Structure 1
Amino acid sequence: MPAPRLLPTALAALSLFASVAAVAQDTTSLERVSVVGSRKTLPAASSTDTLVPVDIYSMGKIVEGGGQFDLAQSLQYLSPSFNSTRQTGADGADLIDSAALRGLGSDQTLVLVNGKRRHTVALVNLFGARNRGSTGTDMNSLPLLAIDNVQVLRDGAAAQYGSDAIAGVLNIQLKKKAGCEAVAGYGQYSAGDGKNYLASAYCGVKLGDGTLGITGEWQDRGRSNRNDPNDENVGPRTIGDTAVKNKTVYLNGEFPLAGDSKVYLTAGAQDRDASSGAWARGGVGSDDIPDRNSAAMYPNGFVPFINGDVKDRYVIVGWKSTLAGWDTDLSQTYGSNRMRYNISNTLNASIANKDLLAGGKGISPTSFDAGGFGFSQATTNLDVSRYFPDLLGGSNIAFGAEYRREKYDIVAGEPGSYIDADGVGQGGNAGSQGFPGFQPGDATNKRRNSQAIYADWEASLTPALTVDAAIRAEHYSDFGSTTTAKLAGSYKLSKELLLRGAASTGFRAPSLQQLYFSSTFTDFISGQPLDVVLAPNGSKITNAAGVPALKQEKAKNLSVGFTFKPGSDTAVTADLYQINIKDRIVLSGRFDADNYPALGAILQGLGVGQAQFFVNSVNTRTRGLDLTASNRTKLGAGQLSTFLALNVSRTTVTGRNAPAALQGYEDVLLSTRERLFIEEAGPRMKGTLGFEYAQGAWTGEAKIVHFGKQTQGGFTEGVLLKYKPKTSMDLGASWQATPALKLSIGGNNVFNVKPSKQDPFETDNGFYYDSVQFGLNGASYYARAHYRF
């Protein structure tokens, strides 16, 4: 959306802000927070003093009485710039909720924990309207009770933090305070399913002069199913939330040593058992026998289940001290994410057909170890900074270095999960139905490393003018070097009004997952099954298609805005932004023997119908507006707090960069359907208006969340799936029964709003409600108890 067209929206919203009130954040907690995006060791007074837009969300009220039980969904309904929609019918993407900022990909948002880079997941999202072809960070691998606050930096920051920080940065600050608390929660959908149990406890233990915070969490979320069994076009599907069981423990502490030195530690582990329903296979009388089913095993059809065993580990060890007046921070971070698939309630149709041809009943095993993948990352950081009060009115100079090692591997499944027992093209299809296993040819074990140095200078040139300049040089062992820079500044027109702006360059290195992921899977196009191979960069297929080696994405970020704080109880911010990304890495459209004959013989030999691959093929431009306003005021005998936030954005594909060998095939490389996955990964607009009224021991809360329109492409060329704007409401009430005990009840999406209905033969999940905007499950209710001891 052109910037001039956004200005009337801003002015109209600001006139509304004057009459509205409140705060979704606990503003008192902002006063001593070191804000992400600045290398200052001095704390910021509030988020309205920052050079670039930063939102700071205290997790206290969310933990004590919120209706969401995980971090991703909590932020989904707090931050308009943040999007995370649970997928269904999207294979591995059902098991890990991806998250992103400003409508860009999940791998274009950098996530930090206590200011240190957090690893991404091993999964590549292949299906679903959100984050197609991207990796991301699993926000739900951290327990809510362990988190003190979440800082959302809504600006490019690659020059400060390195790769991935194109859309912005999320910094999750963990607790390390003394005292203990516990939470017990229960929730379910109004339909009666999706039962969600939560038990969590935190205890900050004094060890010498330091404190070690220990958090343990157990969560059991049941499966939901919105399938309509009476709709013959959909069939016997399982469509809804994945069943998830999480067991998580986290430690976080800081311990003084001699002098001004201290050591700090963060360590966490989560084991997740998750299970999602794949597409159903038909029974006797359908075309799935003998191709994808056996009459002897599932005469009435069946739903295969994709079960994931996910293990996530994270460790930070560091030392802080002051050397010759310089604050020094030396740290080592290690993170890993591993996923292994087990496919149950399934069969290998080729094994069953071979058994039938040999005179047997036509039987196959019903579960298979389908293999999986893993990703690990080890990062060494040295950060040095010093504040000079007399240099240019007060300057903070920082510099540092980083060394990072990454590893990605794919492990093959058991033979039964992928073999074609009765021969290519004969009878039953190969592999476990629902998710065929990784083959020995898919197995890989790849590594790379990178080195970086950076410098940052923030100076208060006058009492009103502050500027910050940063530069970063980075070298990757697999694609070379890149240099990025950032310049930001703010000017105080008055005590209440501050103008700010920033310009930066950025980059995102191709992930190892995008470089080396390889798999053959079954997709359903308009309800019909088709085997598809996703070929890694440098493979026989990509070489035949003339696909060059992947290189980094390059970005240019511009933002300008203002903050207005007329008093301690009222704050307003507004920021316009533009993000241009060149050579964006996307998952191609599907090539076959008809639309690209050069691949025909290769695909026939593999026994598959279509091929996809990753390629630097797209340039995009994202323009948007972020608005926030908060106020607290006395109302009767209590206090009313109101918070209004809005994000309006539009991403446009501005160019297609087809490799020489694919010139003339641009419409296959990026079809309308694939283009809309990029341009409309999230709703065009998202706004949150929250009210909280507190009087004595009682607190009432109402939150209105508006999701703008969204358009997706159908499987049939020219068919557009248009999703109308939708608005949901959350209601909640809390009672401070004793100084230690708080009880809360409430409902989410209490009016049971769902996305616009579509033709199930055209949607990505094959159902008339797709996983867009806010999901398809409808209303839910919850109860929660919080106790301090």
Structure 2
Amino acid sequence: MHRRHILLAAASAAGLLTAAAPAAAQTGDSEVTELVVTGTRAAGRTALDTAVPVDVISQDSLNRVGVTEVNQALSVALPSFNFPRPGLADGTDTIRPATLRGLAPDQTLVLVNSKRRHSASLVNVNGTIGRGSSAVDLNTIPSAMVQSIEVLRDGASAQYGSDAIAGVLNLRLREASSGGNLTATYGARVTDVSTLVQAPPTGANWTVADKAKYDRTDGETINLSGWVGLPLGADGFLTLAGEYLDQKKTIRTAPDWRQQYPLVNGAFDPREASFDRYNAWFGEPDLEQYSLFANAGYNLSDTTKLYGWASYQNRDSTSAGFFRRALDDRNVIQIYPDGFLPLINPEVEDISGAVGLTWKLGEWDMDTSLVYGSNRMDFTIRDTLNRSIGPTSKTVFDAGGFKYEQAVFNFSGVRTYDVGLATPLNVAAGVEVRREGYEIFAGEPDSYRNGGVLLNGAPTPSGAQVFPGFRPANEVDKHRTSVGAYLDLEANLTEQLLMSAAVRAEHYSDFGETVTGKLALRYDVNDNFAIRGSVQNGFRAPSLQQQFFTATSTNFINGVPFDITTFPATDPVAAALGAKPLDAEESLNFAVGIVYREGPFNLTIDAYRIDVDDRIVLSENLTQANVRAFLQAQGFIGVGGGRFFINGVDTETWGVDIIANYRLVTDTLGTYGFTVGANFNNTDVTRVPQTAQLAALNPAPILFDRVNILTFEEGTPESKLNASVDWSLGAFGATLRATRYGRVLSPGTTPTQDLVLTPKTVVDVEARWNVTEKIRLSVGADNVFDEYPTKTPPALNTTSNTPFSNYAPFGRSGRYVYGRVSVNF
């Protein structure tokens, strides 16, 4: 979408929403009153009083969707937040990335109780949204423990440090010393699937055209969650929460039209006619996880409080790779006479803990804390084989994995000074010390080695099919330290003009120093209308995962074995190709907006521009013949090329966010809460990386191709519109919600392979009945009209495994029907 279209759309939407204000003013005087702590360190501000846009997603909102993931709940509540659900993407099927304002998943900072949350150990290296990023896995936190989520839709590196380029998510934990809840949810996908398939080869004695459409009920999900508040001594609380999730897989493949078996005396094998052509698995993973979370606080005195939390999650997930047919050279017919579907089975263990103290030091409100988190991912590859070992190959392999850990120490203080301004000057200052570690550990030898078994006299691929294990040569154990200090000022310069300013300096042990600053202003024209804006520079430090991830597979090119590796940028091979140690991404953010409120109606419109320089991306796979020859001339014998992370992509992102809320109370028809939201977003890639070494080759390899450029520019919706109404009357209530996802491009290597995903609207509905004061029954359906993304034509789905694009912003699983029982005590 061009910028002028963004502005025209925003102006039109704003006009329509503002026109509703007079009618809204006739019915009452309620407005948002919840105090926020994100984006401001001044006490007593509501979401509509801040100098920058902050959304508050309540616990009730999180509970009114069928799918219980935090990421999914945010995606339906926030127009600028997207959560695609890719499949056939290795570990990314298990830890899926989300995006804010169309930027990378790791360009949004995640906090828990205003403290930095650790990221996942996984770095996304497949062709999905978020390729090359490693982000926080929000689904490690049970929704029962979340009291609310504050979303700062503005850059905040000067306030919070690295990663806060697109914005900040702050999950505020439940604090309760009494009461509790138990909730059980059961749901399933009840859907009609329609795909496009190709005709079978001429002369085949089977048909698939009539199987392009089918009914399916799958994805059965059981979710058991609960929390309990307990007193801790005379003046404290201990809140415990737990969640168990058992989710069965969904399969959204097209029937496989391809020949499956070798010819028999020049004719098709009779088994072709009886073969089950739904042989692939493209959809939601099989998943079983349990999560535990504890949050506690204790008042040692009137001015001193001890606080802390701890969490543990174990997630066992299984997803698939592409089907290997019986006649595939990667198959061993003695092991899998009908072909095989290799399965990727990661086990994720996530741990966190925090302890902190707040106290009074003169006029200062002090806070110090130590927070630790770790995320470990172990890969088991099942129903597969190592082709190079032959008929004696195992079918289950330990492929190794990786681990990320983070420890953060904070020491900060806040106080006010009366300096003659309209309000006292709020001063916040603090230091943060962060220690990070990243580790890759190898799998068993059979998961990566070459056993030497030939096929027709030629060598065969090494390692476990679909996911070769990590080798001892891939093992790393790296750490780094960063130290940051910030100063944050906020005050009303006049009764109408609010000023907020921040500056932050950080030193990283691996790449050096960075300084960021932010200035935000808000002018209240009157009690109903305000103008706000901000300008700032920001940064995102390269993650340890991006700096040190490495994996190797052996490919045979014309019968010659070559190691193809994802190299760290500091590896000698990557350096020979022009790679340099990774540096921080840098951003410049501008925003301007308005706040309008009158009685029960409020409206915010915020336009933004985010320029990011030196974005860190994963290069293309550089395996061309001239690259191999160049590397061999440099003394790297047997290295067939590979890829590496590199700075060098510059982008410009423009957009507008619009949020409107209106509450209507009637005497006989109940209470209604209306919300309308819209995001219009556009990104342009203005520079791509290159190295002198590769540019000198003829032809020069491309480091960042059109698929990745167009993924940045058009891989997320150009617009997203949300509208919802919550209704309650006595013991009954209901929610109706519609989300329109704008045009998305699923790019190909050439323009003829591009697939345009046309705009789609997904409607959700839920009905609730409070049987008693303590028992609530709910039934509902997400995607009640069973909407699917644009079908992928057979020319772009040559395996029949992927009839829908991974770029679809709402997934491709169809209607989800659920029932829920909730008991309070």
TM-score class, shorter-chain normalisation, is over 0.9
Given the alignment of the two structures, is residue 780 of structure 1 paired with residue 816 of structure 2, yes or no? yes
CA 1:693/1:295 → structure 2, altered by over 3 Å: closer, same or farther? same
- Is the CA contact 2:99–2:105 (under 8 Å) kept in the aligned structure 1? yes
Alpha-carbon deviation of 1:390?
Answer: 5.6
C-alpha offsets along residues 269-292 of structure 1, whole Å, 9 cap, x if unaligned? 101101111111110xx2x23xx1
Given the alignment of the two structures, is residue 99 of structure 1 paired with residue 98 of structure 2, yes or no? yes
Deviates more, 1:241-250 or 1:2-11: 2-11
SS at match of 2:625: coil
CA 1:508/1:548 → structure 2, altered by over 3 Å: closer, same or farther? same
User: In 2, Cα distance between the equivalents of 1:210 and 1:242?
Assistant: 41
- Is the CA contact 1:370–1:412 (under 8 Å) kept in the aligned structure 2? yes
- Which of 693, 696, 710 is the aligned partner of 2:730? 696
Alpha-carbon deviation of 1:29?
Answer: 10
Given the alignment of the two structures, is residue 309 of structure 1 paired with residue 339 of structure 2, yes or no? no
Gapped regions of structure 1 (runs ≥ 5): 353-361, 524-529
**TM-score normalised per structure 1:** 0.93
C-alpha offsets along residues 738-769 of structure 1, whole Å, 9 cap, x if unaligned? 00011100111111111111245646995120
Given the alignment of the two structures, is residue 156 of structure 1 paired with residue 158 of structure 2, yes or no? no
User: In 1, Cα distance between the equivalents of 2:640 and 2:596?
Assistant: 58
User: In 2, Cα distance between the equivalents of 1:521 and 1:224?
Assistant: 30
User: In 2, Cα distance between the equivalents of 1:210 and 1:60?
Assistant: 25
Given the alignment of the two structures, is residue 403 of structure 1 paired with residue 433 of structure 2, yes or no? yes
C-alpha offsets along residues 379-416 of structure 1, whole Å, 9 cap, x if unaligned? 00011111235642221001100100000000000000
Given the alignment of the two structures, is residue 493 of structure 1 paired with residue 525 of structure 2, yes or no? yes
User: In 2, Cα distance between the equivalents of 1:623 and 1:522?
Assistant: 43
User: In 2, Cα distance between the equivalents of 1:764 and 1:50?
Assistant: 52
CA 1:652/1:745 → structure 2, altered by over 3 Å: closer, same or farther? same
The residue correspondences of 1:626-637 to structure 2 (distance < 5 A) are: 626-635=657-666, 636-637=668-669
SS at match of 1:237: coil
SS at match of 2:279: coil
Given the alignment of the two structures, is residue 344 of structure 1 paired with residue 386 of structure 2, yes or no? no
SS at match of 1:549: coil
Larger Cα-atom Rg: 2
Deviates more, 1:652-661 or 1:3-12: 3-12
**TM-score normalised per structure 2:** 0.89
1:721 is aligned to 755
2:478 is aligned to 446
User: In 2, Cα distance between the equivalents of 1:473 and 1:99?
Assistant: 28
- In percent, how many aligned pairs have the same letter? 38
- Which of 444, 448, 462 is the aligned partner of 1:430? 462
Alpha-carbon deviation of 1:721?
Answer: 1.8
- Is the CA contact 1:188–1:194 (under 8 Å) kept in the aligned structure 2? yes
C-alpha offsets along residues 297-320 of structure 1, whole Å, 9 cap, x if unaligned? 011111111001100011111000
User: In 1, Cα distance between the equivalents of 2:488 and 2:393?
Assistant: 62
1:11 is aligned to 11
Alpha-carbon deviation of 1:718?
Answer: 5.2
User: In 2, Cα distance between the equivalents of 1:541 and 1:235?
Assistant: 42
Given the alignment of the two structures, is residue 735 of structure 1 paired with residue 787 of structure 2, yes or no? no
CA 1:511/1:761 → structure 2, altered by over 3 Å: closer, same or farther? farther
SS at match of 2:459: coil
Given the alignment of the two structures, is residue 51 of structure 1 paired with residue 51 of structure 2, yes or no? yes
User: In 2, Cα distance between the equivalents of 1:541 and 1:728?
Assistant: 48
User: In 2, Cα distance between the equivalents of 1:30 and 1:319?
Assistant: 30
- Which of 365, 368, 371 is the aligned partner of 2:394? 365
Alpha-carbon deviation of 1:683?
Answer: 1.2
Alpha-carbon deviation of 1:163?
Answer: 0.4
- Is the CA contact 2:628–2:641 (under 8 Å) kept in the aligned structure 1? no
Given the alignment of the two structures, is residue 418 of structure 1 paired with residue 448 of structure 2, yes or no? yes
Given the alignment of the two structures, is residue 251 of structure 1 paired with residue 251 of structure 2, yes or no? no
User: In 1, Cα distance between the equivalents of 2:220 and 2:637?
Assistant: 43
Alpha-carbon deviation of 1:599?
Answer: 4.7
1:276 is aligned to 319
C-alpha offsets along residues 472-519 of structure 1, whole Å, 9 cap, x if unaligned? 000000000000000001000110001000000000011000000001
The one-letter amino acid paired with 1:457 is L
Deviates more, 1:236-245 or 1:514-523: 514-523
Alpha-carbon deviation of 1:428?
Answer: 2.6
SS at match of 2:709: helix
Given the alignment of the two structures, is residue 572 of structure 1 paired with residue 584 of structure 2, yes or no? no
User: In 1, Cα distance between the equivalents of 2:700 and 2:157?
Assistant: 30
CA 1:229/1:683 → structure 2, altered by over 3 Å: closer, same or farther? same
1:31 is aligned to 33
User: In 2, Cα distance between the equivalents of 1:193 and 1:516?
Assistant: 39
User: In 1, Cα distance between the equivalents of 2:633 and 2:338?
Assistant: 36
Given the alignment of the two structures, is residue 651 of structure 1 paired with residue 686 of structure 2, yes or no? no
- Is the CA contact 1:544–1:598 (under 8 Å) kept in the aligned structure 2? no
- Is the CA contact 2:407–2:435 (under 8 Å) kept in the aligned structure 1? yes
1:584 is aligned to 615
CA 1:196/1:371 → structure 2, altered by over 3 Å: closer, same or farther? same
SS at match of 1:454: strand
Alpha-carbon deviation of 1:31?
Answer: 2.6
Gapped regions of structure 2 (runs ≥ 5): 191-215, 260-276, 556-561
2:335 is aligned to 297
- Is the CA contact 1:455–1:472 (under 8 Å) kept in the aligned structure 2? yes
Given the alignment of the two structures, is residue 215 of structure 1 paired with residue 241 of structure 2, yes or no? yes
1:379 is aligned to 408
The one-letter amino acid paired with 2:239 is G
- Is the CA contact 1:652–1:679 (under 8 Å) kept in the aligned structure 2? yes
User: In 1, Cα distance between the equivalents of 2:104 and 2:434?
Assistant: 22
Given the alignment of the two structures, is residue 768 of structure 1 paired with residue 803 of structure 2, yes or no? yes
User: In 2, Cα distance between the equivalents of 1:599 and 1:306?
Assistant: 35
SS at match of 1:50: coil
Alpha-carbon deviation of 1:81?
Answer: 1.1
Alpha-carbon deviation of 1:592?
Answer: 1.6
Deviates more, 1:630-639 or 1:145-154: 630-639
- Is the CA contact 1:556–1:579 (under 8 Å) kept in the aligned structure 2? yes
1:206 is aligned to 231
CA 1:391/1:313 → structure 2, altered by over 3 Å: closer, same or farther? farther
- Which of 262, 269, 281 is the aligned partner of 2:305? 262
- Is the CA contact 1:541–1:602 (under 8 Å) kept in the aligned structure 2? no
Given the alignment of the two structures, is residue 535 of structure 1 paired with residue 567 of structure 2, yes or no? yes
The residue correspondences of 1:62-81 to structure 2 (distance < 5 A) are: 62-63=62-63, 65-81=64-80
- Is the CA contact 2:32–2:48 (under 8 Å) kept in the aligned structure 1? no
CA 1:608/1:730 → structure 2, altered by over 3 Å: closer, same or farther? farther
Alpha-carbon deviation of 1:612?
Answer: 1.4
User: In 2, Cα distance between the equivalents of 1:181 and 1:28?
Assistant: 28
User: In 1, Cα distance between the equivalents of 2:78 and 2:649?
Assistant: 28
SS at match of 1:15: helix
1:356 is aligned to none
In the alignment of these two chains, the number of paired residues is 761
The residue correspondences of 1:544-693 to structure 2 (distance < 5 A) are: 544-567=576-599, 569-594=600-625, 596-599=627-630, 601=632, 611-635=642-666, 636-663=668-695, 668-693=702-727
Alpha-carbon deviation of 1:671?
Answer: 0.9
CA 1:669/1:750 → structure 2, altered by over 3 Å: closer, same or farther? same
User: In 2, Cα distance between the equivalents of 1:764 and 1:732?
Assistant: 39
The one-letter amino acid paired with 1:215 is A
Alpha-carbon deviation of 1:3?
Answer: 5.3
CA RMSD of aligned residues (A): 2.4
CA 1:557/1:666 → structure 2, altered by over 3 Å: closer, same or farther? farther
CA 1:140/1:189 → structure 2, altered by over 3 Å: closer, same or farther? same
2:128 is aligned to 129
2:205 is aligned to none
- Is the CA contact 2:632–2:639 (under 8 Å) kept in the aligned structure 1? no
Alpha-carbon deviation of 1:60?
Answer: 2.4
1:457 is aligned to 489
C-alpha offsets along residues 188-224 of structure 1, whole Å, 9 cap, x if unaligned? 1012111110101100101121111100110111111
SS at match of 1:677: helix
CA 1:235/1:221 → structure 2, altered by over 3 Å: closer, same or farther? closer
User: In 2, Cα distance between the equivalents of 1:159 and 1:656?
Assistant: 27
